[in-house]
Amino acid sequence: MSGTLIVGASQSGIQMAASLREAGDEEPITLVGAEPHPPYQRPPLSKAFLAGKADLASLAFRTEAFYAEQKIDLVLGEQVVRLAPGLATTHSGRSLPFDRLALTVGARPRRLGVPGADLDGVHYLRDLDDALRLRGRLGAARHVVVVGGGFIGLEAAAVARSAGKSVTVVEAADRLIPRSVAPVVSEFYRRAHQRRGSDVRLGVGVTALTGEHGQVRAVELSDGTRVPADLVLAGVGIVPRTELAEQLGLHCAGGIVVDEFARTSEPDVVAAGDCTVAPHPRTRDGLVRLESVQNAIGQAKVAAATLLGRREPYSAVPWFWSDQYDLKLQIAGLSGGHDEHVLRGDPEAEKFSVLYYRGGSLIAVDAVNSTADYLTVRKVLDRGGEISPEQARDNEVPLKRLVSPPA
Amino acid sequence: MPKIVYVATDGSQRVVDAVAGESVMMAATRHGVPGIVAECGGNASCATCHVYVRPESLPLVGEPNDTEEDLLDLAVTERREGSRLGCQIEMTEELDGLTVDIPPVQP
């Protein structure tokens, strides 16, 4: 038996290996990762680790002994470049045979496609090496420009500004975090970053980066302005790694398409994490890509069950968090398609939540420094029940007391 | 190195050497203790590292803060005396031998 080959040794890959062992699978498990580092957590890279408040050791998912004890063959620093049925080949020519295949290959950062993007001082933030490079450069930097007002960009902007740098955030859309939160929350973050001294430019694109002696010096914007920069962080989204899936002829559409059992179009091959797109977890309408730790873990568990012949559909309520300064954003559900929202609390006081409704039903919450509201909505979405918009408007009553039981 | 004893619902025990300064959750996940899921990695967002601290250790570990209270109230299956989130208990030499029971499920 060649056992299971898991390609990609990050959150999903580790979880899948651990889940297979926890379920009693005794076949060989090989976990192959392109990076040389033992598998590590990514979320701190743009937060505590970038700020120098977390060290490398604290990022490790497991002790080295764990992999040995669990008989998980960890192959690091090897990139799988060819996949054929039953056999993977790495860039150094190593052959890795398998009976069962799992793709947890993640994504790469989308690159800036403008002149000057290859100048020194232009950074991306996806893996540990990126974070180490960025952290190394941040100390001496004076003018930091963040291209892209999504979560990675804003989290890094908060770290840079807290370290006393001049920070400019440039977002091509007319509001921050446009893909993930509603306008009221976007506007809150614009003001919160401005209050802390960052310059936020919306509705402008980057046309070029200019430099001297190969080092970036300025960012030129579509409105004709020029922002000085000695460090540029581009956080402009990710591109799922689908090349291997395509070699196998698997169906891909902005990610490897999987069903609720984490099965690809080839039912023997599973995939999980940021490399996948799946039916909307609640409505089953359309394909969504959930870039979150929770999705990476949840899909991996389902995929492990699938590999062991069990069918456990993945239907968890999506959740997500982002730390910027002292602002803890917690999201439950997906607010896309909402037709009504209720604001609770006071954005000016930096403690509030926004509940989203569709056709009168609660579908999601964005909560800032309001864990109880986040949890209450998450619980309602998970276990049933409802909170009417009329009731939710009453700020004086804790949300958890407004929940009416499932019909 | 302070030791932590994790007791599973079937009574089986896992003894782990923690590093002072790391949390009860971190020590569990690094060593792969089953039943401590820790989905959010210690950000007080998920409550999947719920443990029951044995009564004799309770005075030493202190009280949960407001966020942890909310998580324990709203996110765990069965809150009991001694319910804590593993991510919020920082290990010290003084806590050597801390014994915690793992709930049957982490929702």
What whole-number distance in Å separates Cα of residue A361 and Cα of residue A129? 44
Q: Which two tokens stand for residue A165?
A: 């740098």
- Are A211 and A116 within 8 A, CB to CB? yes
Cβ <8 Å between A61 and B29: yes
Mean pLDDT of the A57-85 span: 94
**A4-26 tens-digit pLDDT:** 999 999 999 999 999 999 999 99
What values do phi and psi take at A364, rounded to 5? -170, 165
pLDDT of residue B74: 80
Under the banding of pLDDT at 50, 70 and 90, the label for residue A267 is: confident
Of A2, A39, A36, the C-alpha closest to A18 is A39
Of B34, B71, B74, nearest to A22 by CB-CB distance is: B34
With CA atoms as reference, the chain A residue closest to B20 would be A58
Mean pLDDT of the A85-109 span: 97
Of A63, A323, A376, nearest to B74 by CB-CB distance is: A376
Nearest chain B CA: its distance from A70 CA (Å): 9
All residues at 6 or more sequence positions from B75 whose CB lies less than 8 Å from its CB, including other chains:
A375, A378, A379, B46, B47, B50, B107
Cβ <8 Å between A400 and B74: yes
Residue A189 C-alpha from the chain's centroid: 18
What whole-number distance in Å separates Cα of residue A295 and Cα of residue A94? 31
- Are B86 and B100 within 8 A, CB to CB? yes
Cβ <8 Å between B30 and A379: no
What whole-number distance in Å separates Cα of residue A250 and Cα of residue A266? 6
What whole-number distance in Å separates Cα of residue A167 and Cα of residue A172? 17
pLDDT of residue B37: 85
pLDDT of residue B43: 79
Residue A272 C-alpha from the chain's centroid: 13
**A302-357 tens-digit pLDDT:** 999 999 999 999 988 999 999 999 999 999 999 988 999 999 999 999 999 999 99
Mean pLDDT of the A94-104 span: 97
Mean pLDDT of the A46-61 span: 91
Under the banding of pLDDT at 50, 70 and 90, the label for residue B24 is: very high
**CA torsion, ordered A75, A81, A84, A89, to nearest 10 deg:** -50
- What is the residue whose two structure tokens read 């690809």? A264
pLDDT of residue A246: 97
With CA atoms as reference, the chain A residue closest to B44 would be A371
**A166-208 tens-digit pLDDT:** 999 999 999 999 989 999 999 999 999 999 999 999 999 999 9
Cβ <8 Å between A375 and B30: no
Q: Which two tokens stand for residue A277?
A: 């797109």
**B62-79 tens-digit pLDDT:** 899 888 998 898 877 789
Question: Looking at per-residue confidence, does B15 or A58 come out higher?
Answer: B15
Mean pLDDT of the A263-268 span: 94
**What global pTM score does this model have?**
0.94
Of A43, A69, A372, nearest to B41 by CB-CB distance is: A43
Residue B44 has pLDDT above 90, yes or no: no
Of A24, A41, A33, the C-alpha closest to A6 is A33
- Per-position b or e across A134-148, b if 16+ CB within 10 A of its CB: bbebbeebebbbbbb
Neighbours of A286 (CB within 10 A): 10
For residue A245, the SS3 value is: helix
All residues at 6 or more sequence positions from B47 whose CB lies less than 8 Å from its CB, including other chains:
B71, B72, B74, B75, B76, B85, B106, B107
Mean pLDDT of the A148-156 span: 98
pLDDT of residue A117: 97
pLDDT of residue A245: 97
Share of chain A above pLDDT 90, in %: 90
pLDDT of residue A120: 98
Which residues of B are less than 8 Å from A65 in CB distance?
31
Do the strands A29-33 and A4-7 form a parallel or antiparallel pair, or are they unpaired? parallel
Helix ranges (DSSP H) in B1-107: 24-30, 58-61, 66-75
Under the banding of pLDDT at 50, 70 and 90, the label for residue B105 is: confident
Mean pLDDT, chain B, integer: 91
- What is the residue whose two structure tokens read 């619902």? B9
Cβ <8 Å between A293 and B41: yes
- What is the residue whose two structure tokens read 């993930």? A180
B10 touches chain A (CB under 8 A): no
Neighbours of A326 (CB within 10 A): 11
β-partners of residue A310 are none
Mean pLDDT of the A251-260 span: 97
Report the interhelical angle of A151-162 vs A128-138 (nearest 10°): 30
What whole-number distance in Å separates Cα of residue A115 and Cα of residue A361? 47
Q: What ipTM is given for this predicted complex?
A: 0.85
> How many A/B residue pairs have CB atoms within 8 Å?
59
Cβ <8 Å between B22 and A41: no
- Are A302 and A281 within 8 A, CB to CB? no
Of B40, B29, B23, B18, the C-alpha closest to A44 is B40
What whole-number distance in Å separates Cα of residue A407 and Cα of residue A363? 16
Which residues of B are less than 8 Å from A294 in CB distance?
39-40, 46
What whole-number distance in Å separates Cα of residue A124 and Cα of residue A112? 9
- Are A82 and A95 within 8 A, CB to CB? no
pLDDT of residue A251: 98
For residue A230, the SS3 value is: coil
First and final CA of chain B: distance in angstroms? 31
Under the banding of pLDDT at 50, 70 and 90, the label for residue A114 is: very high
Strand order in the sheet with A206-212: A206-212, A215-221, A226-228
pLDDT of residue A252: 98
Which residues of B are less than 8 Å from A293 in CB distance?
39-41
Tell me the domains of chain B and their CATH numbers. Answer: 3-101 (3.10.20.30)
**Residues within 8 A of A (CB atoms), B 29-58 only:** 29-32, 34, 37, 39-41, 43-46
Of B36, B25, B15, the C-alpha closest to A58 is B25
Question: Looking at per-residue confidence, does A163 or B74 come out higher?
Answer: A163
